[in-house]
Structure 1
Amino acid sequence: MFDPLLIPELREMLLENDIPAMHEFCNVFHAGVIAENLESLSVADCWQVLSAAEWSRRAEVFKYFSHSRQMELVETLDQSKLSALLEAMAADDRVALVKDLEPALVDLVLPLMAQVERDEIRKLLSYPPQSAGSIMTTEYASLRKDLTAGAALAQLRLQAPQREMIYYIYVIDESRHLLGFLTLRRLIMAKPERPISEIMDEDVISVRVDEDQEVAARKLARYNFLAMPVVDDQNRLAGIVTHDDVVDILQEEATEDAHKMGGVLPLTEQYLESSFVSLWRKRAMWLSVLFLAEVFTFSALAHFEDEIQKVVALSLFVPLCISTGGNSGSQAATLITRALALGQIQLRDWLLVIWHEFGMGIALGVTLGLIAFVRVFFTPAEVLGVSEPLRLALVIAQSVAAICLWGTLVGATLPLVFKRLGIDPGIASSPFVATFVDVTGILIYFSIARVQLNFG
């Protein structure tokens, strides 16, 4: 975490060029803590501190910087230092950085790297964006099944320094077909002479290289794994997706869903790093659409102008009735959209979902209708301007109940319809549902009033 007391010490180290102290700072604290405290320094000072550490440590700290700071740091490096940084990074972090660099710069830097790293970068860049293959790392531990546990441990010791994770060990054949896996704990506890084939687990849960990264993330989170193997169409081990990548993906997914539910196009950068024009464009588009949709509310009110003139009190309860529908619809839309995203419900469950929300809409409508009835009935007649508060109270109660039911059904149905049409259900966001229910809610409200109050 950020420690303001460290900043004066860092500035003193820089002023005195105290390399031993900077070296100690870079190696004592967690890499994330180092990055968080260096964010407040200039780019030049940041590199001066990091230069006291080995390239492997610099790369470890580098991945914890914000994206904007990473780009600032990269811009100050010459080609040889940039290639050294890339070589020191983990495979997945390396590819993520290369994707953000200018193609011309990449063409200059890649030839300076070792052939192995160059081939690895090109391979990972060949996978479709947002796929499991594009976020995986190739730094995994693997063994042959004909080894004994003792020989496997000896081989694992040789692999460990170059591997991102060794807790899961994957068993492969000569063609890299995935045969099984075992944990480091199981390997350590096995007798040295026991064959790997006897202690490995052949029931391997994996993900395909071309599957969406969100599918891989949810699968890994569901089974509570630290990593998951990524295989090609012939079940050959291509790499692994690790838990730290999954955390980032799930956070991005949740943020994207939250933006959509708020009627905002998802941001591609952090809030403070997004330009004013970008924020304006992403927010103005949906606001404009919703604003134009709300114009129909005016048209609906104009249609019932005669009813409003006869019973002015009806206009007092318009906000109450339509907001009830919008709120109930937003609730249902949020629940169904999230359930679809998490795989808790499928399109084939549509009838069960509608039936469930139909019952819930009635229950909620009755509850809110009773509250509305009591509120209107006990309001003094002179305030309402009507001679029969009971009739008006019944109209308001019935309208609230009906609009609540309608809003709940709309909120539950729209995400399913959008999903069926291949549209992101997140678009059925709270503002969208609320706007639609506002307009239709007015029609329901005044239609009930027209019938109950015997308007001609």
Structure 2
Amino acid sequence: MLNPLLLPEIRTMLAQDDQQGLTEIVTELHAATVAEFGEGLTVEETWALLRHADVARQAEIFAFFPEEKQVELVDGVGRERMSRLLEAMSHDDRVDLLQLLDEEVVESLLPLVAKADREDIRRLLSYPEHSAGSVMTTDYATLPPDVTVQESINRLRQQASQKETIYYIYVVDAERHLIGFVSLRDLILAKPNSLVEDIMQEDVVSVRADQDQEDVARTLAKYDFIAMPVVDEQGRIIGIVTHDDVLDVLVEEATEDALHMGGVGAMEENYLDVPFTTVWRKRSMWLSCLFVAELFTFTALAQYEDAISSIIALSLFVPLCISTGGNSGSQAATLITRAMALGQITPGQWWRVLRHELLMGLALGLTLGVIGFVRASLTPASVLGDADRWVLALVIGQSVASICLWGTLVGSMLPLVFEKLGFDPGYASSPFVATFVDVTGIVIYFTIAKTLLLG
């Protein structure tokens, strides 16, 4: 929270009904700053603060509140007042808010909203979650191709206050088919008598409403646009996705991937705000599954009891060998998952990935195998027992190299397999890969040991 020392002053101003001071706070500070102050206030205090601004400013501030605070504020105010605020909010912000509310609350608010706004809300709510349609706004500026630059600027002056952005103006025909776009900069620099169709760019990059929001984010980042038009099946513009919404998408997706790779289910709320039982349930579920899977390590070790009892030194190197596989597998899984998230590789390129990681696994395995060989060759004679020092060193070196190669291949292929099967590649997480490679690494290690040491 920003400067909590000012909260007592704000509360004092509210108690004294200091209208001038409160008006200065809500009108002169940035909307995000006002929202940060509001986080430390009660619902009643927050609404008392907001009433010192007009409804347009209230809507601007409201959008910066955390989701939990927004829901609390909706529950703490009359439906009539909330409906006026909804009408003033940007189209995408109000849809985001309504998606947080219970269905009965939404249905009680919509009849109070103007018909045009109500229809727009229902249309945006109809798009699938995580699609371009679900994050787009219908607050965009358009122009016909046959008007002059001077007339275009006059039109923009009239509609600018109702649009989320006018940096890009989209050129449409009579049926609203997207035929080009022009930037505000180009309009200002063009001759007043020039026609829009003469200065517009016709190679428009657009996305469909049903496209995944991650694809939209990558496309917008690729072309370095501030906004991206969204079109329907007939090529008619129906909205735009702005850079601020794309930033939210990237943060959301990166957070989700990071949680999955850590073996934790996705959480919508801030870390300190998530109920203890929710965190326990999400974390214990994954840990329990991984724990049960790790029990197979015990089963695998039991199969090689004779080898362990005859050569005690073998047991000393078990942690070294299996951790090597887990580390190399987790590293590969992280690299591949991130590359997939950035659109750098797809499941169809699995063969190229396999070849690349095969060579990398061999190189890494050779590097670590040499280190393991040297370390095993220094094993004290009191620990060696009847085992030959150099044969043991060869076992350790070869096992480390083999397990490292195996872990690298498993870690690189699992995310691609998960994506192909329709699962989030993030579920091929580091704990998952490490657990799988631990169990199989035991088998590889003792198979090599039995072959070289016990014949």
The TM-score, its normalising length taken from structure 1, stands at 0.97
Name the CA distance, whole Å, in 2 between partners of 1:359 and 1:149.
59
Letter in 2 for 1:260: H
1:264–1:282 CA contact under 8 A, matched in 2: yes
Partner in structure 2 of residue 49 of structure 1: 49
Name the CA distance, whole Å, in 2 between partners of 1:269 and 1:63.
16
Residues 57, 385 of structure 1: alpha-carbon distance in 2 compared, 3 angstrom cutoff: farther
Letter in 1 for 2:303: H
Name the CA distance, whole Å, in 2 between partners of 1:420 and 1:210.
20
Bigger shift: residues 380-389 or 131-140: 380-389
Q: Provide the aligned length of Structure 1 versus Structure 2.
A: 455
For residues 63-82 of structure 1, what are the structure 2 equivalents within 5 Å?
A: 63-82=63-82
Residues 59, 310 of structure 1: alpha-carbon distance in 2 compared, 3 angstrom cutoff: same
Residues 387, 106 of structure 1: alpha-carbon distance in 2 compared, 3 angstrom cutoff: closer
Partner in structure 2 of residue 33 of structure 1: 33
Task: Find the residue that maps to 1:100 and give its secondary structure.
Answer: coil
Q: Deviations over 1:385-442 (max 9, x none)?
A: 4563222112111110110001001111112222222222222111111111101100
2:387–2:453 CA contact under 8 A, matched in 1: no
Residues 4, 268 of structure 1: alpha-carbon distance in 2 compared, 3 angstrom cutoff: closer
Partner in structure 1 of residue 436 of structure 2: 436
Partner in structure 2 of residue 426 of structure 1: 426
Task: Find the residue that maps to 2:99 and give its secondary structure.
Answer: helix
Instruction: Confirm or deny that 1:289 pairs with 2:296.
Output: no
Q: Deviations over 1:61-91 (max 9, x none)?
A: 1111111111111111101111111011100
CA RMSD after TM alignment: 1.4
For residues 46-445 of structure 1, what are the structure 2 equivalents within 5 Å?
A: 46-385=46-385, 388-445=388-445
Task: Find the residue that maps to 2:251 and give its secondary structure.
Answer: helix
Letter in 2 for 1:256: E
Letter in 2 for 1:196: V
Letter in 1 for 2:377: F
Could you tell me how far 1:339 is from its partner in structure 2? 1.2
Bigger shift: residues 420-429 or 363-372: 420-429
Name the CA distance, whole Å, in 2 between partners of 1:402 and 1:107.
61
Name the CA distance, whole Å, in 2 between partners of 1:137 and 1:387.
72
2:138–2:238 CA contact under 8 A, matched in 1: yes
Could you tell me how far 1:289 is from its partner in structure 2? 1.6
Name the CA distance, whole Å, in 2 between partners of 1:374 and 1:46.
67
Unaligned 5+ segments in structure 2 are none
Task: Find the residue that maps to 2:96 and give its secondary structure.
Answer: helix
Could you tell me how far 1:178 is from its partner in structure 2? 0.5
Name the CA distance, whole Å, in 2 between partners of 1:387 and 1:135.
66
2:311–2:387 CA contact under 8 A, matched in 1: no
Bigger shift: residues 141-150 or 276-285: 276-285
Task: Find the residue that maps to 1:238 and give its secondary structure.
Answer: strand
Letter in 1 for 2:328: S
Identity level (%): 59
Name the CA distance, whole Å, in 1 between partners of 2:5 and 2:198.
55
1:68–1:273 CA contact under 8 A, matched in 2: no
Could you tell me how far 1:384 is from its partner in structure 2? 4.3
Letter in 2 for 1:310: S
Q: Deviations over 1:228-278 (max 9, x none)?
A: 001000011101011111111111101111111111121233323322332
2:218–2:343 CA contact under 8 A, matched in 1: no
Task: Find the residue that maps to 2:235 and give its secondary structure.
Answer: coil
Bigger shift: residues 439-448 or 284-293: 284-293
Letter in 2 for 1:136: M
Task: Find the residue that maps to 1:140 and give its secondary structure.
Answer: coil
Name the CA distance, whole Å, in 1 between partners of 2:403 and 2:106.
59
Task: Find the residue that maps to 1:397 and give its secondary structure.
Answer: helix
Q: Deviations over 1:181-221 (max 9, x none)?
A: 01000000000000000000000000111112222122112
